[in-house]
Structure 1
Amino acid sequence: MLKKKFIVPAVLSSALLVGSIPASNVFAKPVDSKVVNSVQASKEWNEKASVPLFVKERFAEKFSSSNPANAVNYLQKNEGKTGIKNPGKNLKVKDTQTDELGMTHVRFNQSINGVNVEGSEVIVHFNRDNEVVSVNGRVNQTIADDAVDTTASLSSDAALEAALSSVNAPEELTYEPTSELVVYPFEGENHTAYKVNVNFMGDEPGNWFVFVDAKTGEVVDKYNGLMHADEMKTQKGAGKGVHGAHRELHITQVKEPNSGTKFALADYSHEGLQGIITYDAKNDNTSSNDTIYVGNSAAFIGDYDRALVDAHYNSEKVYDYYLNEHGRNSLDGKGMAIISRVHYGTNYNNASWNGRWMTYGDGDGEFMISLSAGLDVAAHEMTHGVITNTANLVYQNQSGALNESFADIFGALVDDDDWEMGEDIMAPAEKDKGNGVLRSLRDPHSVIVQNAQRRAYSTNGGVYPKHMDEFYHMPTSVDGGGVHVNSSITNHAAYLIAQDIGREKLGKIFYRALSVYLTPNSNFSDARKAAVQSAIDLYGEGSAEVAATNSGFDAVGIY
């Protein structure tokens, strides 16, 4: 049995920034033609292993009700149109939701012998009249009943040991690892594998997803998804933020033995929400010593308080945005607690979502200041939480770039003063050098890619791309295949769309695309289809909103 120490919290990450990849020049080397042919064959196989599906019905098929059984009935009658073989046997219901338009969306996992195929999901969409109007998702067309042996020779405990070893996990983990048997398409083979999620803090925090072959015990693939009192009465308090702004806060009065009444950065004032809770991470590299931040008065105005105040205040602002604009109750839509951990590490130039909570560093004072100072940073990290609980976009390649892009887009929508990311967290010395933002949705070319290893893949002089002609073709070992860099292409498309229809409509279209249509392995083309269909759902065929959405994606070369 494993003897790992698990942190028990009181209750992606997708890192916002550059991660821990060393900055060094990388030059392309001559490639052997045999290797090229092998790579091309693998690419062709993998394309068949993740085939995009988008069926739009001009003449909708009507059913007695909008339910999973009728969704399967539709798919069975339309196997030729969808390419999904034997859907009654090879699809498992994952979720059914009815939205504010009265549409019902039935989401399925593709499976074989009851084992989910990783990243392969299909969504059937009914209108309010119980008519199937569209189907989308991605399916693995290489799978047949006799093609994959889904029995496991390896135990889940053995797979966990292999996963922990492969990512050099420390003794202390933030929560108990999870393990799920899946079919994982990778480099020309459908592997029966354990998908193991391992999460830890430390000098190099990780939210790793490791795929361990369930027969051999070998690690098939892995990626870091770190998306860089008994009686309590919530009351109003106040604080001073990093930049000196006055903040009105919701805090909780607590009574501690022998010390009288104190006040915690814990907000339980929102009905249906488990709380907005802000922890002090105490500038170490662990979560085991973190405590809910408590002050002696209801005014948090000390220098150390400022970063904590901003994290607490900004979390409520982002919560209010999703609730008021999209009817979403917290990151999971079900009122989960919103947890922030502030003052993490030493000179830590990053913020992240680790699948459970947000973490904010204080910056090094030269490149960045406290990252919790940015409302757009908080919105970015919290949106990663929304993504985890909706499309769950895989944090690699184009799906990973979409993950980052949606986080940026909603970051800019919540912090609506401009279309830049990170302007409130850059250190004065860095601003003096002309580096005043991290990324720009308005003008990606105005920002230089700071990491030299990533910049080596540039074709545009080392700036962020704003068109597919400038796409950074990176291996997954560099920035997960370009998740931060290539995100600026769809960022710019969103900016252009908003110039025609405004921020509010952009948010509604992109939120619907994320929560209704996108699936884990969606790429840029899928995102366009999802956004256009969302605009049609909301504003109608032939509307100015649909035209603007098409035009925005056209302008950045996503067709």
Structure 2
Amino acid sequence: MKRKYIVPVLLSSALVASSFTASATLANTQNSHEKVEKTWNEKANVPVFVKEKIAEKRAASNASNALDYLANNENKTGLKNARKNLKQKNTEKDSLGMTHVSFSQSVNDVPVEGAEVVVHYSKNDELVSVTGSHFPEAVAKSIDTTPTVSMIKAVQSAKNSVDAPDELEYNPTSELVVYPFDGKNHLTYKVNVNFLGEKPGNWFVFIDAKSGEVIDQYNAIMHANKIHQSVGTGVLGGQRKIHTTKVKQPKSGTVFSLSDESHEGLKGIYTLDANDGEIMINNSASWKDEYLRPGVDAHYNSEQVYEYFNEQHDRNSLDDNGMAIISYVHFGENYNNAFWNGRQMTYGDGDGLFMVPLSAGLDVAAHEMTHGVISNSANLQYRFESGALNESFADIFGTLVDADDWEIGEDIMGPEAKEDGRVSLRSLSDPSKYKVKVDYVPYGNGEGNYPSHMDEFYDLPRSLDNGGVHINSSITNHAAYLIGEEIGKEKLGKIFYRALTIYLTPTSNFSEARKLIVQSAVDIYGEGSAEVVATANGFDSVGIYE
């Protein structure tokens, strides 16, 4: 099945895989290096920016005019019968005054999984670019979109296929989608099954709506009343000022809970104990007990990450709509991991040898919460290159929030890890100083190190690290480091945030990401600016070209 990237037509001039599985701690699209066994969207076209000037200025930057442009310019975009096959998703105006109209591809009103098209207008209502991807064969071939399998049966099949526990924290969700996979268009139920337990899952399972068979599945766990000012001690002994809630209870008297509802427009920041599923409480405003320390750090770090996105990017929580920020601590037993499961952050306590409680790391919290931002913006699919971009953006913003260095997880490493030379989970400045898991070595250049250049790319199959999401992310991580060293972390954050929330779509790959990140620099700092040059040079240096 060919997935065709919309040619972005620019019309204006202007946590962990290693010897001790650290890279899976912080919970592709496709690339030119894939092995034959990876047939999913393997023939994706790479978009090209075509710079020209539009002859006709649009009357308004709205969905109707955007659809008119797509319908009248099939030769430029490759989209056939846009009025029939595209459905409007939303229209947004950004801080630069540009307007972005997004559409999803559909067949008989059934959405095509991963296919999104965005039309971008300047602040002067001039159409300047079209980005995204679509599946031309989903239009060219007739697809029967009437299911014969019930949604109830599909959900049960999905639960069975991932060994979901009988009791689920959240009811599974399901929607009917056309799923291009392994050269065919399948009518499927896309079922999301989310659970904790010994092996947490945020599974997306595609059930054939005709036969009831499992077409594909992947785990998208992404590892890594009166407000009162309290003081707590973190895992590493640091003092934390945290917002808690003072509650009078009939039997136990006054207690303080890790509940923060002090931020206007935010539904709250809540930190829970995974052992009982309840918000953590303490009998005083001084949180010093050792058991409470992971909760203190999780609570404090959640607020720090919230404030970063709010102050630097004017974003109100992970969904930009004030969603509650929820963290669980004390998850599992000797659990060397942290993850975002699509709804909340969850932190293990570590085993005390290789890792300490993972909530101690501000960059770990920022990494996990950025996955929430990604889920509510570009929604990069968690496999192959798009999944590596997902992990990379989480790492990059981890180092922007915890801005002291370019390392991820330096505060959570245990004594044995440090003794073994593992002083962080990943390094953006020097990725190759760490080894990948032994199982991954045959798929790389033989040296067995994290890659920092496309020459060292790992052609991992879907069955290993979702096609290299934690491994190949270090290539774009290193590009971000090189860019940040030239222009500073604040500008780096503005450029990458814009690309993530304005331009990238679920199936974006490395080459497309380079173009859209450079375009974001152009939008903010102008064509030919030092920031644009540094951004392009950063990607050139790691072998990601136009």
Q: Name which of 272, 277, 283 aligns with 2:265.
A: 272
Q: Name which of 522, 528, 531 aligns with 2:508.
A: 522
Give the TM-score normalised by structure 1.
Answer: 0.90
**2:487 aligned residue:** 501
8 Å CA contact retained: 1:195, 1:212: yes
**1:27 aligned residue:** none
8 Å CA contact retained: 2:261, 2:267: yes
Q: What is the DSSP-based 3-state SS (H/G/I as helix, E as strand, rest coil) of the residue aligned with 1:386?
A: helix
Q: What is the DSSP-based 3-state SS (H/G/I as helix, E as strand, rest coil) of the residue aligned with 1:148?
A: coil
**1:58 aligned residue:** 52
Residue 447 of structure 1: how far off its partner (Å): 1.4
Distance in 1 (CA, whole Å) between partners of 2:294 and 2:37 is: 51
1:459 equivalent to 2:454? Answer: no
Residue 174 of structure 1: how far off its partner (Å): 1.9
**1:541 aligned residue:** 527
Q: Pick closer, same or farther for the CA change 1:220–1:498 going to 2, 3 Å.
A: same
**1:124 aligned residue:** 119
1:373-425 Cα deviation digits (max 9, x unpaired): 00000000000000000000000000000000000000001001100011000
8 Å CA contact retained: 1:22, 1:453: no
8 Å CA contact retained: 2:38, 2:462: no
**1:235 aligned residue:** 228
Q: Which moved more, 1:139-148 or 1:352-361?
A: 139-148
Superposition pairs for residues 4-43 of structure 1, below 5 Å?
Answer: 16-18=15-17, 43=39
Give, as a single letter, the amino acid of the residue that structure 1 aligns with 2:447.
G
Q: Pick closer, same or farther for the CA change 1:22–1:377 going to 2, 3 Å.
A: closer
Residue 58 of structure 1: how far off its partner (Å): 2.3
Superposition pairs for residues 336-485 of structure 1, below 5 Å?
Answer: 336-449=323-436, 451-485=437-471
1:69-113 Cα deviation digits (max 9, x unpaired): 111011112111000011111111112110000001111111111
**1:90 aligned residue:** 85
1:254 equivalent to 2:240? Answer: no
**2:182 aligned residue:** 187
Paired-residue identity, %: 61
8 Å CA contact retained: 1:117, 1:182: yes
**2:12 aligned residue:** none
8 Å CA contact retained: 1:56, 1:135: no
Unaligned 5+ residue runs, structure 1? Answer: 1-15, 24-38, 283-288
Superposition pairs for residues 104-253 of structure 1, below 5 Å?
Answer: 104-144=99-139, 146-228=141-223, 232-253=225-246
Q: What is the DSSP-based 3-state SS (H/G/I as helix, E as strand, rest coil) of the residue aligned with 1:380?
A: helix
8 Å CA contact retained: 1:52, 1:136: no
Distance in 1 (CA, whole Å) between partners of 2:209 and 2:20 is: 30
Distance in 2 (CA, whole Å) between partners of 1:428 and 1:546 is: 42
Unaligned 5+ residue runs, structure 2? Answer: 1-14, 23-34
**1:26 aligned residue:** none
8 Å CA contact retained: 1:109, 1:120: yes
Distance in 2 (CA, whole Å) between partners of 1:424 and 1:518 is: 31
Distance in 2 (CA, whole Å) between partners of 1:418 and 1:115 is: 46
1:324 equivalent to 2:311? Answer: yes
Residue 46 of structure 1: how far off its partner (Å): 3.0
8 Å CA contact retained: 1:446, 1:463: yes
Residue 141 of structure 1: how far off its partner (Å): 1.3
Q: Pick closer, same or farther for the CA change 1:478–1:315 going to 2, 3 Å.
A: same
8 Å CA contact retained: 2:261, 2:269: yes
1:485-529 Cα deviation digits (max 9, x unpaired): 000000000000011111001000000000000000100001101
Residue 55 of structure 1: how far off its partner (Å): 5.1
**2:25 aligned residue:** none
8 Å CA contact retained: 1:437, 1:447: no
Residue 63 of structure 1: how far off its partner (Å): 1.4
1:234-272 Cα deviation digits (max 9, x unpaired): 121110001110100111111111111110011111000
Distance in 1 (CA, whole Å) between partners of 2:319 and 2:511 is: 26
8 Å CA contact retained: 1:237, 1:299: yes
Q: What is the DSSP-based 3-state SS (H/G/I as helix, E as strand, rest coil) of the residue aligned with 1:376?
A: helix
Give the TM-score normalised by structure 2.
Answer: 0.92
8 Å CA contact retained: 1:109, 1:121: yes
**1:31 aligned residue:** none
Distance in 1 (CA, whole Å) between partners of 2:418 and 2:36 is: 44
Give, as a single letter, the amino acid of the residue that structure 1 aligns with 2:131.
N
Distance in 1 (CA, whole Å) between partners of 2:267 and 2:353 is: 37
